[in-house]
Amino acid sequence: MKKYLFSIFIALFVGFFLAKSFLEQYDSYQGIKFTSNTGEMLYFIKYNSYQNEEEMEKATLSLTNYIYKQNGDLYDVYIGITKSSENLIKLSNYYSSLGYNTFTEEYLVTNKEFLKELENYDAILSTTEDDVVISSINSQVLEKYEEIVHGSED
């Protein structure tokens, strides 16, 4: 009986230090930590960043629809979201034709309901070249993102 207790004690002792070592390495890792594989990387079309909310509101008066994210002291404004690289080019060209300088950023989105909605909108967007339809679909995507993703965060 004593030899089993000694073996169990050694196993717990070694397991404790292995777990401690693993967690220390995880905490010190500086890269992106994925904790879930259920999301997808999406392209967000960034309009600009602003120092405060008042400045952002003044600068975005000409935009028909946008979403923003507070990132530290900055307010980042996004005017488009897509999963497809072809639709990203289409949206970027659309905004370039309007005279907007845009940037692309990728974010992991895990909300399954929004991802399914975006897939439907991307399918429609990929079949059109009409600027009115592109603008309408993009506005609906941003509204859905605000409703589904930001609505679930509150």
Confidence of residue 24 (pLDDT cuts 50, 70, 90): confident
Least confident of 26-30, 31-35, 50-54, 80-84: 31-35
Which has the higher per-residue pLDDT, 103 or 11?
103
38-42, 103-107, 141-145: the lowest-pLDDT one: 38-42
Between 80 and 12, the higher pLDDT residue? 80
Span 115-137, pLDDT tens digits:
999 999 999 999 999 999 999 99
* pLDDT band with cut points at 50, 70 and 90 for residue 33: low
What is the token pair recorded at 146? 């605000």
**pLDDT value of residue 139:** 94
Q: In the predicted model, what is the mean pLDDT of the chain?
A: 87
Identify the pLDDT of residue 35.
59
CA dihedral 135, 62, 151, 35 (to 10 degrees): 80
Q: What is the distance between the alpha carbons of residues 79 and 139, in angstroms, rounded to a whole number?
A: 8
Q: First vs last Cα of the chain: how many Å apart?
A: 56
Q: Which positions ≥6 away from 64 have C-beta within 8 Å? A: 135, 139
Mean pLDDT of 43-68: 92
Residue 21 burial (CB count, 10 A): 10
Residue 29 pLDDT grade (very low, low, confident, very high; cuts 50, 70, 90): low
Query: CB of 126 within 8 A of CB of 87?
Result: yes
